[in-house]
Structure 1
Amino acid sequence: MEGSQSLIVNVATTGKVEANNTTIKHIKRTARGYCNQKNCISVITLRSAARTAA
């Protein structure tokens, strides 16, 4: 019950966080060709910047 009351008082949701997590999972799924972690992180950063700018 305490969590519900906090949500009502703060009017905060996790929608944006869940959308970001879904985007990252999609990038990981399609990024099989990236040979290392640094390249994958770069793609995630670039796509995040593109979503923010749009």
Structure 2
Amino acid sequence: MYEERFKKFEFIRWHERSVDVLPSGGSKAKGIQAFIDHLNIPADQVYAFGTG
């Protein structure tokens, strides 16, 4: 139902009660990359983790 209403987003269900909401064409990896590019941090100094 919400996928029809919010076309600018992608909804990724990874659990029966949880869903990730991302901009269309986006991903966590792209968001992290944009953030480190903005801060000009070398990739070898970046760590990422999640709850999954």
Query: TM-score, normalised on structure 2?
Result: 0.35
The structure where helix makes up a greater share of residues is 1
* Larger Rg over CA atoms: 1
Between 1 and 2, higher relative CO (CA 8 Å, sep ≥ 6) is seen in: 1
Q: TM-score, normalised on structure 1?
A: 0.34
